[in-house]
Structure 1
Amino acid sequence: MKFKSFLAKPFASYVYKQVKRSMHQAVPDQEAIFRELLKTGAGTQFGKDHHLGEVKTMEEFRQAVPIRDYEQLKPYIELIKEGKHNILWKGKPIYFAKTSGTTSGVKYIPITKDSIPNHINTARNALLCYMAESGNSRFADGNMIFLSGSPVLERIADIPTGRLSGIVNHHIPSYLRKNQLPSYETNCIEEWESKLDKIVEETIRKNMTLISGIPPWMQMYFDRLMEKSGKKVGELFPEFSVLVHGGVNFEPYKSKLFDSIGRKVAAIETFPASEGFFAFQDSQHAEGLLLNTDSGIWFEFVPVNEVFNENPTRLSLKDVKVGENYALIINSNAGLWSYNIGDTVKFVSTEPYRLIVSGRIKHFISAFGEHVIGEEVEYSLMKAATENGVHITEFTVAPMISQDKGKSYHEWFIEFDNAPADMTAFAQQVNENLRTKNIYYDDLITGNILLPLKITPVKKNGFIDYMKSIGKLGGQNKVPRLSNDRKLAEALQPWLES
């Protein structure tokens, strides 16, 4: 056993025991965080505006602080950008995480001295829990790659500002820094395909043991490696044993990624965002991700069907139920108060609290009242793909609305790695799967209000070329699974199969 893996084992065991203890005191930990947030928040501009000093209970807090999105938080962010202190949290942020919004343009999410450990330690804990449970510490001795955004930071109001992955890059522990790839210079390249070529050049002859990133961009890396070497990734890197992924649902990409690897490796799922690191896979043997209940974030949960109500039900952790879809609302020591992050989650267990990410609030189709969500379309497609030996590269779904009754339908734009032998039969199978998952969709089909879904094949690399055309290739950018309009559908037209 080499030196790093030897030292890592006792630390992994220590952290694993801490995580196990925390999972069994999640509710009291959440209540303690609520009180700590109130205590600090009362002295801020936000706290004074919302009378947090007078709040004693969670119910009083909900009366005082409405749920808000970035647009509603933006006036406070602007004050911070003007150089003001004690606005959302004590002092001023140590970073702004810069991210893209669908309606807000660029968003600037504060990261504070108190909140940065949430981002760093949770990623560490995910790896150490895997190490302690599996006994595999060998990956710590090899090279690790984190496919991420540029670590180059600009300054706004003298606050370092950049992509979250670039910010986190500055906090990789020194004992891992020597193992980290790509080089700093390569990581600073902004143009994704040029960066990818350099990453391949730097890693193709290295002993890669851990690879981390968003699944579609990992697949591009794997494709380029195989083109250059003529080998599967698992053959090229014999000691590669850990794949860390997050950002999008893994299932649509899983089959092709593992086919590219050519053998089994451990996969660790994470749920990070600029607003916080919310959950991680603590076990290879349990379903779902362990909610991060003792890391500076107090969580609230709103039933999805109430999320746009004026006064929605706001539940604490102790009140959630398995199998229900909730909008995730956070209050954090980054100064985010009753902040709707836009993701929906569903608990698969409450002892301990493990969940899956079921979709995005704004990514759904309800053009006809069906409210089809991401989890449902992903299940429907992947079930059919698995049963037919079909690999999916990427897909998105949009409504096709006709003025003639019974002529509207959902159009699925799918890039196949290998297309089904009978596309009509495959579409029927996906349609039936969706009918079993969504009773409203089933009613619309039964009532002849909707036609069964139609599949429109996308050319090879069509989604990549589309993302390149809008300047969003690589990094943390993702193709929306669902749209409630035809904007993306129309933009994809140049890349459809004729």
Structure 2
Amino acid sequence: MQIKSILAKPFANYVYKGVRKGMATAVEDQESILKELLKTGKTTEFGKEHQMQNVSVYEEYIQAVPVRDYEQFKPYIEKIKEGRHNILWKGKPIYLAKTSGTTSGVKYIPISKESISNHINTARNALLCYIAESGNSQFTNGKMIFLSGSPELDRVGGIPTGRLSGIVNHHVPNYLRRNQLPSYETNCIEDWETKLDKIVAETLHQDMTLISGIPPWMQMYFDRLHQNTGKKIKDIFPNFSVLVHGGVNFEPYRNKLFESIGQDIAAIETFPASEGFMAFQDSQKAEGLLLNTNSGIFFEFIPAGEIFSSTPTRLSLKDVKVGENYAMIINNNAGLWGYNIGDTVKFVSTNPYRLVVTGRIKHFISAFGEHVIGEEVEYSLIKAAEEEGVHITEFTVAPMITQGEGKSYHEWFIEFENKPPDMTRFAIKVDHHLRNKNIYYNDLITGNILLPLHIRTVKKNGFIDYMKSIGKLGGQNKVPRLSNDRKIAVALEKYVES
């Protein structure tokens, strides 16, 4: 056993004890964080505008500060980009995390000297909790990779600006630098496929023990390794034992990833975003991700059905319930106040507070009042795929609206690793599971308002080609599971099998 794995265990146990202690004080920690945030917030331009000096408890806070999304926050961000001080938080941010979604424009998210530790320490804690629970610290001796965006930073308003993964790359502890792959030069390559070839070349003969990234891009990496060697990943990297993932639901990718690896290994799920590291999997034995309740973020939750209301119900942590679907709202020590991050979550436990991510607020279908969400389509497809022995590469769903009652339907664009033997039977099964999951969708089918879903088979690598065509291939980019319009569906038409 080498020195890193020896030292990792006592440190992991120390951190793990702190994490477990925090489970019992989550509500009190949240109340303390709000008070600390207000203490600084009242001195800022935003705080003065919203009279934070008169706010001392949560009930007063929700009256003073409305919920906003990025577009509504943008005027404040623009002032920060001009180089102005004390706008949302004291001084200026130390970074701006630049992010762009598939369906939205570029966003600039402030990161302060107080909030950077949330991003760094939470990622560390996820690994340390795994070490403490499993006893496996051997992976710390080998090479580790994070499939990420470029670490090169620009300057906006004098503030270093770039992708979150690139910013975090500058804060990798020195003791892990020698373990980190790919090289800095390779990480700076913008073209994903060129970068992927370089990553394969740099890692192929290394002792890779941990691989981290968004599942579809990890799968591309595994596929490229297989093309080069004809081997399963476990035979290329015999000491590979930990897979860290986040960004999208892991379940649609699980079977194919583990088949590529050649065996099941430990998988650690994380919930990072440019706005903050929200939650992480603290245990291989418990469902859900532990909410990060003592890391500079005060969380609020709005029942998902009320998110577009002008006066939504806002709940602090102590009032959430298991099984309810909530929009997550954050307030953090980088100056985001009442900020709607766009994700929906559902608590699976309140002792401790563990949750699962159920989708994106903007990613749903309700063209007919059904309000189908990401969690429901993912569940339905995975269930049918398991029953039919089918592996899914990627998919998305859009409404097909036609004139005349009983003629419209949901159109599913699916790229299969292996196609079902009977596509009609497979479609019926997916539709059946979705009807069981969503009563409104079932009523529309039963009432002959909607036809059962239709499946369009996407060509091999069709989603990769689509993402490439819109300049979103690789890095942290992902295909939306659901759209309430046909923008993505129309673009995918050229990648559908005839």
Same fold at TM > 0.5: yes
Alignment of 1:337-356 (within 5 A): 337-356=337-356
TM-score (norm 2): 0.99
Deviations 1:285-334, CA, capped at 9 Å, x for gaps:
00000000000000000000100000000000000000000000000001
Alignment of 1:130-279 (within 5 A): 130-279=130-279
Q: How far does residue 367 in structure 1 lie from its aligned partner after superposition?
A: 0.2
Secondary structure, aligned partner of 1:384: helix
Contact 2:102 2:477 in 1 (8 A): no
Q: Which amino acid is the alignment partner of residue 244 of structure 1?
A: V
List per-residue Cα deviations over 1:140-196 (Å, max 9, x = no partner): 000000100000000011100000000000000000000000000000000000000
Matches within 5 A, 1:76-115: 76-101=76-101, 105-115=105-115
Paired residue for 2:72?
72
1: CA distance, partners of 2:318 / 2:132: 29
- Which residue number in structure 1 is paired with residue 439 of structure 2? 439
Contact map agreement 1:325 1:344 (CA 8 A) in 2: yes
d(CA) in 1 for partners of 2:441 and 2:264? 37
- SS of residue paired to 2:198: helix
CA deviation map 1:62-121 (0-9, x unaligned): 111000011111111111111111110011100000001467521100000000000000
TM-fit CA distance, 1:404: 1.1
Amino acid at match of 2:148: S
Unaligned runs of 5+ in 2: none
TM-score by length of 1: 0.99
Aligned residue type for 1:199: I
RMSD: 0.7
In the alignment, the residues of structure 2 paired with residue 104 and residue 223 of structure 1 have an alpha-carbon distance, to the nearest angstrom, of 30
**Secondary structure of 1:110's partner?**
strand
How many Å separate the matches in 1 of 2:77 and 2:101?
A: 15
Per the alignment, residue 17 of structure 2 pairs with: 17
Q: SS in structure 2 opposite 1:413?
A: strand
* Moved beyond 2 Å, runs of 4+: 101-104
**Residues 372-410 of structure 1: per-residue CA shift (max 9 Å, x gap):** 000000000000001111000000000000111100000
The equivalent of 1:302 in structure 2 is 302
- Tell me how far apart the structure 1 counterparts of residues 269 and 278 of structure 2 sit (CA, whole Å): 12
Match of 1:291 in 2: 291
Q: What is the identity, as a one-letter code, of the residue corresponding to 1:241?
A: S
1:57 CA displacement: 1.4
* Structure 2 residue aligned with 1:451: 451
- Aligned mates of 1:35, 1:273 — CA distance in 2: 24
Q: Secondary structure at the match of 2:148?
A: coil
Cα distance in 2 for partners of 1:104, 1:469 equals: 16
Residue by residue over 1:11-63, the C-alpha shift from the partner in whole angstroms, topping out at 9 and shown as x without a partner, is 00000000000011100000000000000000000000000011121111111
Instruction: List alignment gaps of at least 5 residues for structure 1.
Output: none
Residue identity in the other structure for 1:319: D
What is the distance in 1 between the residues matched to 2:181 and 2:387?
37
CA distance in 1, matches of 2:338, 2:94: 21
Question: What one-letter code is carried by the residue in structure 2 that aligns with 1:2?
Answer: Q
- Equivalent residue letter for 2:326: Y
**Partner amino acid, structure 2, of 1:121:** N
Query: What whole-Å deviation, never above 9, does each CA across 1:332-382 have from its counterpart, x for those lacking one?
Result: 001000000000000000000000000000000000000000000000000
The equivalent of 2:405 in structure 1 is: 405
Letter in 2 for 1:353: Y
Q: Distance in 2 between matches of 1:73 and 1:456?
A: 39
- The CA distance in 2 between the partners of 1:134 and 1:272, in whole Å, is 23
| Counterpart Cα distance in 1 of 2:223 and 2:458 | 18
Task: Report the more deviating stretch, 75-84 or 174-183.
Answer: 75-84
Question: What secondary structure does 2:37 align onto?
Answer: helix
CA distance in 2, matches of 1:269, 1:424: 34
Q: Partner of 2:93: helix, strand, or coil? A: coil
CA–CA distance in structure 2, aligned partners of residues 497 and 106 of structure 1:
33
* Amino acid in structure 2 at the alignment position of 1:291: L
Cα offsets for 1:422-468 (capped at 9, x unmatched): 00000000000000000000000000000000110000000000000
In the alignment, is the contact (CA less than 8 A) between 2:102 and 2:478 conserved in 1?
Answer: no
Counterparts of residues 461-472 of structure 1 (less than 5 Å): 461-472=461-472
User: Contact (CA 8 Å) 1:70, 1:104: kept in 2 or not?
Assistant: no
Cα distance change on mapping 1:116 and 1:217 into 2, 3 Å: same
CA distance in 2, matches of 1:302, 1:358: 14
SS in 2 for 1:89: coil
| Percentage of matched positions with identical amino acids | 77
Moved more, 286-295 or 399-408: 399-408
1:365-384 equivalent positions in 2, closer than 5 A: 365-384=365-384
1:35 alignment partner AA: K
SS at match of 2:269: strand
Rounded Cα–Cα distance in structure 2 between residues aligned with 1:317 and 1:266: 30
Alpha-carbon deviations, 1:230-278, whole Å to 9, x = none?
Answer: 1001111000000000000000001100000001210000000000000
What CA distance in whole angstroms lies between the structure 2 residues aligned with 1:179 and 1:117?
A: 21
Check whether the contact 2:77–2:108 (CA below 8 A) recurs between aligned residues: yes
Q: Does 1:48 align with 2:38?
A: no
| Equivalent residues, number | 498
Q: Distance in 2 between matches of 1:197 and 1:103?
A: 28
AA partner of residue 327 (structure 1): A
Question: Which SS does the other structure have where 2:443 is aligned?
Answer: helix
1:71–1:104 Cα contact (<8 Å) kept: no
